[in-house]
Structure 1
Amino acid sequence: GVHIFTLTVEDTNGCIGTATTSVTVNDNPVVAPSYNAPVCDGGSLVISANASGGSGTYTTYTWTKGGVVIGGETGATLTIDPADVTDNGTYGVTVEDSNGCTSTEVTVVVTIQALPVPTINGDAAETTTEWCEGDDITLTGGGGAPGATYSWLLPDGSTQNTAVLTINNADKATYEGTYTLTVTEGTCVSALDH
């Protein structure tokens, strides 16, 4: 707000002089950082400062990670693309408005979700398995945390949503080819061919 101050001076002869000045005390801006959670390993991390108050015109943002200033980042958003689990941490932001007033630093803790590592029959690498026509085929998917979902894409284009894929009396024309296991944990998805 605006405050008016008056200074009155009287000399030894009884003469009085006055001077008046007004002082404007501006409100500091505030920030409320947030990010586009959940973010999976390899996805795009976007942290927004969400500035308000102050003059309403914001000139400079200062971003930190773990208390260390991130050089060259002065905009209202901080984007890391692609992000990985090494980008986990505490990010802070301050903003300066057009009056030169600066907010207090506010932080947000960012967690990048690791991707599931699919396994087929306990193997995390593409492997070749042979069966004879008429055999029963069983492939066991794994690699997801509790609550993960599993989906198989079969060579004939069909899908089965189960961790354990069983095909009875397999015929070569329908079931020979690549089997793709997709493991989903929340919004994070990984696939493995077999």
Structure 2
Amino acid sequence: MSISIPPHLTPLLLTTLRILPLLGSTASLTHAYMEYVTTSSFLTPAPTSSILTKRIANAKTASADPPSATAAKELEAAKEKAIPAWFVNFFNRAVWSVIGFNGLTTLSAIANLYFFPEALGEAKSLYVTGLGCAIAHYVFVIFVQPSIEALFKKGVAQGKGQVEDGGRSAVSWLREWVRAHSWRMWSVDLLAWGCFLGGVVRVFSVYV
């Protein structure tokens, strides 16, 4: 079976175009996972008794004993101050890479499907599904928006030396964001990556 090369498109450019949605979705999924790792770290106790911790830190100081009530209270108070300022910094930077990676996925998938669909064959349905999942990523904005706005208000208030009391703690708002983000990552982000991976394998399987 031969590959039909569209006019004015070299084999190298066509190969790159077919792979771009997979590269974009891989970057998006990796980015999403690292966002989950960094944000969820505020929500769970430090694993002070893990093997890695004991190897890196002094084994005598790495203990499985829970922190005292005073230490736990001080840690929670510190989180309330740190999370809003950290989240505002984190979001202002991360949002552009998220848009960039997902934009690469979306635009390259559209280019494959509507401008250069020749020889996609059975992979076309996978590219269509992958594109739908990449677009669905933005649907989750309605689920993360409340927590984002709440954390930004707290962060701005802290920057002015004020106390923004929205009735909920920064930890609870961050937990809500992580929950919605996790659903998005393990559903549409993962499915988009899987579809484009399968699509690329099918497109290039004709060479085998």
The two structures have a TM-score, normalised by structure 1, of 0.25
Kindly indicate whether structure 1 or structure 2 has the higher relative contact order, using CA contacts under 8 Å at least 6 residues apart. 2
Instruction: Report which of the two has the higher share of helix.
Output: 2
Instruction: Report which of the two has the higher share of strand.
Output: 1
The two structures have a TM-score, normalised by structure 2, of 0.24
